[in-house]
Structure 1
């Protein structure tokens, strides 16, 4: 009777879960591969399972693990990339299922392996971010095709394996193993603004046990004391919980709380944590490490009840770490030349670091167009986003070089590489000094065409940078930033004080204040918005129209802050219909009338609409007639036109402001504003890119607003050319079909004009 690989689907799910759990417990890559081939062979009841990995140095596929073939060949046998069935699978980048491998034209057996006797062949590529890392193969003696369930199982294992292999190749280790990370380079998305050389400070917002960074401490006594206090608080909480439910649970159920208390004793988890602290590790990591070790034991158990105890252990660990964090927050210190590193950096995290100490930002998630990246650029610091393979928990206190031009992060670089980057830093300083001379000069072309350059602000520090770099006003003040930095909605009086500082700093110059724009990637901790698709959900004006009490308080504060200054303008975000605009205008007029009735003497401020969604593009002419000005938010407009989440590193390459559809939409908005006789500005990142700024001036944009760090570069380019040259450049790209063609054309044209490439560092 023939052997069969057919299995019950439920059993396959169980096998898959167990394999993943064992893999997560592995100490190194070789152990992972050995586990995979052994368990897959058993799960599919096949005779051979093998893993080949691509070796970039030799440009060949190397046999790394096998169950069923000659073990002595492991690590020795290599295959050319275009040879054999392994090369065939890799080249096709898809599953190959053959009932008799010996009859396939690509079959090239290697005698020492002993695979001639095996006919059935199923190979799956191991792919990570479009790169083929290797091939996972199962084989059997009988002539037959593996069934669809087997294919699905192997594809799932390949997906699990790909991330682990990519991580191991980048770091030389699997999660949980210490790695020196010497001279290791990680790639992300370039954020521009140069180079930073400093020390990593890893920060985490979530109580994820895997996200706690390993950090050495010289104060073991202090860490042990903090741990003891945290334990006491958790014990108190557990006793209180037991007391709360003692009349509702049976004695045997109440006994579970005593089990939790015993887990925290010195003879159990508590003792192991203290031992790790005494070895020189800080308390949070010692707790996380100990808890993960114990939880893994329960995770691997067959009994469902015992497996659930892993959840209890993790919960205890999170409770202890939560109290430890409260203590840590009171004594947090940041070294000079801090490079902030995290899985996902938020605006509040950014604001916690003293400005004079922060020199760079690295985030595992997000893209260079995310909100926090835009804020970082405004501070003039290099950023690298979307470094998906970065083992960030291992980087704390490491020496880092952050290359904002190429999107690279170098951990513990060699002295030679460090010296090279120090030379780049010196060159950057020389360029910056040259651009500083432009601060007090107007932004006008060689023929005298003037385009005011305004700054985007939010943090207090951005305000000072904008003034230092010669901004002619504020084209976008993100009021939500001050809301993000509070633990509750700021009162009307508190808002008045915040807004007044902005307006006074730019007395006599315009300050455009955007009403509260939350939702999407900007959530308030005290006003959570949980949605499956937040960027198409409840955000911007939709939130504040549903909460007129928030909107009215903010508008009242803005108007009160402008008394005697009269330089404030109101900007409405995410308008997608005339109805939303009419409702907003009615509330603004109501707030103005209320203040007038209260004796506050102030003029009605100019009101504008942000053009951020396709619907607003098509109705720009109608909207312009109802307001005083239009302002395009090119970041969101690009996102919505191209249907790409600008925070998603996986699709960051799709997000491209040079896309012809984006350029056409921008041109049509400028035309609609001109036809209505209303000024139009743009306050997205396109305004801060000197190359796209040239196109925007040619389209007819009256004002460009950008991160203050971009002001000198944009001014330098515009002052180096004539308006008719900009018009010719815009005319030249019209009709082009793809973003790369447009970008290449613009780059070439600027070079012919003698525009220095250093003025566009984020394009290196």
Structure 2
């Protein structure tokens, strides 16, 4: 059964569209389970009913004609119960409903399993048998397992089919994800794909067929020459069998049939050369992968490798420098900070990612840049929407494709309301962050790009609570030198002087990896990251803190912060290195002061050692994003569990209160630089707890300041006492929002057009 399961899933993954997927499922399941019938029912999104979409064994003319509501008939009962139904005599079940068009009156045994994707029943997979018998446990388990594995494939195939229809008819459609950064963006999708991945080449039509054909021939010639040179260079190091692989590659490239397939697609479908090549090569890969002979199955990898080689040359020929359109909305499978940085800031207006969550690193960067973002749009066949008109709704987490005029008017009105709200909040920039009864709070900003600086100063930031020093590392293809780092840090320190700038030492690992310093781990968030990396590589750490202190000469506004501290020993080890670097610089003639040294509390062990850490550090700063992740055991970049991640979870709030109490007991000031600090409601709770400093992205600073200036400290503390005893995040969020609304601060939460 396991071999059959793998074979079916593999075949389904090679299918071109939804009808092909369903045909493979019904034929192969019927064959493997030795049943007389296999059928698939899928949910119709408009009616909510479940429609017979494919069958092998029932009358074919019943396809598309049989509709069942949830709870109606045996299929509807599977939907309503969200679990299998296994019957030896289907007709005797009270939910049985007979449809003459199907011809199923002769079948007794029935087994139906729900196809569930993201907690929604997409459909039902059914097998039937003539004889009266109950399917055994192994058969039931097989069908349930298969349904679970096929759910994502069916959802993606459905979405692709819908999008293809919408594209031809230019009709509106939408895809839901996770609201990651608030705001609305109206523009054109610009697809970012790994340049050597056949499966993610965007659907793109060419303007000049002859030029595209010439481009293809040039790429073939370049790939042929490259393979020949590699084969010659390695000739003395390879066995005879290994050397023949290069000859095989060249013979495939010389095959007129392969080239003509690609050229035909360019001519007949006007596909761009990369897309035509990718489609043809993937079809060949799929043929090899489904062959029963293991030798030929292994050749699929060789064909794929050859396809990637030619694709790289096609991109090299076609895209020496990409031109991004005005109003670019960047769309990709898994976007990174480096990808965002490649787009001219004046052209980039929105971000959409198939993977990731509201708290993944790229989402945090998007919020810092004030870019509306939707993450985790898992069912989006993104490679097919390049250049298409789209709307990003970062409030609801929705991507609209081919928006009509009415929808555009609606969102243009929201954009106008956003601008008006921003104008109304601009006057707070020169005012203190002070409650109506005089309680003063220090509002800082999180930065990482120079673009943040001007926006931060304009909005009244009182310094930098978190400068992400890893950003310059992420944007390079090597470690920046000590002098290169000094120049970057000096620029930040000068821009904010005399206000304090808190620089976090290099924090890589987890969801922030360097291409030139790869960290391959099974569980990266619990692995080698943050201070663990830099203490293991003191040469990296020393170069960085030397650059920071050199940059601070004459300014004296530097504060150094250590990430991912799990105990006192790490703080002491880091302090010794920093003090060593400080002594060296004094000996070299630099007139500098030893900067304050702080600790980030973001792992559970640090929560219970805050008192000790506070006694040995100059300040404490809570990284609430990672702390929430670790307390709730939720990977914050995983969209599958994003709904479990909640910064207002009772356990998180109680830990935050414990941290500030322990730090203050040691006489140490404590701040917070996670996303919670930038939420108006979250800021109220944090100030009520006693946090001295809140650090957030510059976009949120005016909203937080306006909120604080509208309340009394005593009222905030009453709100905290009300919610700290609640038992779930949803109740807490509802109570906080109700409080903000009672103050007339609805616009602080979102523009009036967003309900």
Using structure 2 for the length normalisation, give the TM-score: 0.95
CA 1:755–1:189: 2 relative to 1, 3 Å: same
Query: Counterparts of 1:638 and 1:616 in 2: how far apart (Å)?
Result: 13
CA 1:689–1:647: 2 relative to 1, 3 Å: same
Aligned with 1:214 (options 181, 203, 206): 203
Query: Counterparts of 1:603 and 1:711 in 2: how far apart (Å)?
Result: 30
Name 1:582's counterpart in structure 2.
572
Q: Secondary structure at the match of 2:699?
A: helix
- Tell me if 1:182 matches 2:157: no
Name 1:383's counterpart in structure 2.
373
Aligned with 1:45 (options 31, 34, 55): 34
**Native 8 Å contact 1:192 1:761 kept in 2:** no
Aligned with 1:146 (options 125, 128, 135): 135
Query: Counterparts of 2:60 and 2:205 in 1: how far apart (Å)?
Result: 41
What is the number of equivalent residue pairs in this alignment? 753
Name 1:538's counterpart in structure 2.
528
CA 1:330–1:112: 2 relative to 1, 3 Å: closer
Aligned with 1:446 (options 436, 443, 451): 436
**Native 8 Å contact 2:21 2:154 kept in 1:** no
Query: Counterparts of 2:174 and 2:52 in 1: how far apart (Å)?
Result: 26
Aligned with 1:308 (options 290, 298, 315): 298
Query: Counterparts of 2:477 and 2:394 in 1: how far apart (Å)?
Result: 33
Query: Counterparts of 2:168 and 2:562 in 1: how far apart (Å)?
Result: 50
- Tell me if 1:81 matches 2:70: yes
CA 1:94–1:100: 2 relative to 1, 3 Å: same
Q: Secondary structure at the match of 2:700?
A: helix
**Native 8 Å contact 1:339 1:361 kept in 2:** yes
Residue-by-residue CA offset, 1:563-585 (whole Å, 9 max, x unaligned)? 00000000000000111111011
Name 1:551's counterpart in structure 2.
541
Using structure 1 for the length normalisation, give the TM-score: 0.94
Query: Counterparts of 1:725 and 1:40 in 2: how far apart (Å)?
Result: 63
The within-5 A match list for 1:611-630 is 611-630=601-620
Residue-by-residue CA offset, 1:290-344 (whole Å, 9 max, x unaligned)? 2112222323333222233322121111112223334455321100000000000
Using the TM superposition, name which of 101-110 and 366-375 deviates more: 101-110
Query: Counterparts of 1:759 and 1:730 in 2: how far apart (Å)?
Result: 19
Question: For structure 1, which runs of at least 5 residues remain unmatched after alignment?
Answer: 1-8
Cα deviation, residue 411, structure 1: 0.6
Name 2:52's counterpart in structure 1.
63
Q: Secondary structure at the match of 1:164?
A: helix
- Tell me if 1:594 matches 2:581: no
CA 1:224–1:568: 2 relative to 1, 3 Å: farther
- Tell me if 1:421 matches 2:411: yes
Cα deviation, residue 265, structure 1: 2.8
Query: Counterparts of 2:245 and 2:578 in 1: how far apart (Å)?
Result: 58
Cα deviation, residue 104, structure 1: 3.1
CA 1:285–1:575: 2 relative to 1, 3 Å: same
Query: Counterparts of 2:210 and 2:63 in 1: how far apart (Å)?
Result: 48
Aligned with 1:202 (options 191, 214, 223): 191
Name 1:5's counterpart in structure 2.
none
**Native 8 Å contact 2:196 2:308 kept in 1:** yes
Q: Secondary structure at the match of 1:66?
A: strand
Aligned with 1:567 (options 549, 557, 564): 557
Cα deviation, residue 55, structure 1: 2.6
Q: Secondary structure at the match of 1:52?
A: strand
Aligned with 2:79 (options 65, 74, 90): 90
Using the TM superposition, name which of 439-448 and 537-546 deviates more: 439-448
Query: Counterparts of 1:578 and 1:181 in 2: how far apart (Å)?
Result: 61
Cα deviation, residue 627, structure 1: 0.9
Query: Counterparts of 2:353 and 2:618 in 1: how far apart (Å)?
Result: 39
- Tell me if 1:662 matches 2:652: yes
Name 1:124's counterpart in structure 2.
113
- Alignment RMSD: 2.2
CA 1:188–1:640: 2 relative to 1, 3 Å: same
Cα deviation, residue 178, structure 1: 7.4
CA 1:328–1:698: 2 relative to 1, 3 Å: farther
Residue-by-residue CA offset, 1:432-458 (whole Å, 9 max, x unaligned)? 111112222211111222112111001
CA 1:328–1:447: 2 relative to 1, 3 Å: farther
Cα deviation, residue 425, structure 1: 1.1
**Native 8 Å contact 1:192 1:383 kept in 2:** yes
Residue-by-residue CA offset, 1:685-724 (whole Å, 9 max, x unaligned)? 0010011101111111111100111011111111111211
Name 1:494's counterpart in structure 2.
484
Using the TM superposition, name which of 231-240 and 712-721 deviates more: 231-240
Aligned with 1:407 (options 377, 383, 397): 397
CA 1:549–1:255: 2 relative to 1, 3 Å: closer
Name 1:527's counterpart in structure 2.
517
Query: Counterparts of 2:326 and 2:241 in 1: how far apart (Å)?
Result: 55
Residue-by-residue CA offset, 1:128-167 (whole Å, 9 max, x unaligned)? 1111111111111222222333223322432343223323
Q: Secondary structure at the match of 2:682?
A: helix
Residue-by-residue CA offset, 1:195-254 (whole Å, 9 max, x unaligned)? 000011000136321111112333555544544443333222321333245457676764
Name 1:360's counterpart in structure 2.
350
CA 1:388–1:252: 2 relative to 1, 3 Å: closer
Name 1:267's counterpart in structure 2.
256
Q: Secondary structure at the match of 2:429?
A: coil
CA 1:480–1:134: 2 relative to 1, 3 Å: same
Q: Secondary structure at the match of 1:387?
A: coil
Q: Secondary structure at the match of 1:172?
A: helix
Query: Counterparts of 1:408 and 1:212 in 2: how far apart (Å)?
Result: 23
Question: For structure 2, which runs of at least 5 residues remain unmatched after alignment?
Answer: none
Residue-by-residue CA offset, 1:574-616 (whole Å, 9 max, x unaligned)? 0001111110111111110111111111000000000001111
Query: Counterparts of 1:739 and 1:561 in 2: how far apart (Å)?
Result: 43
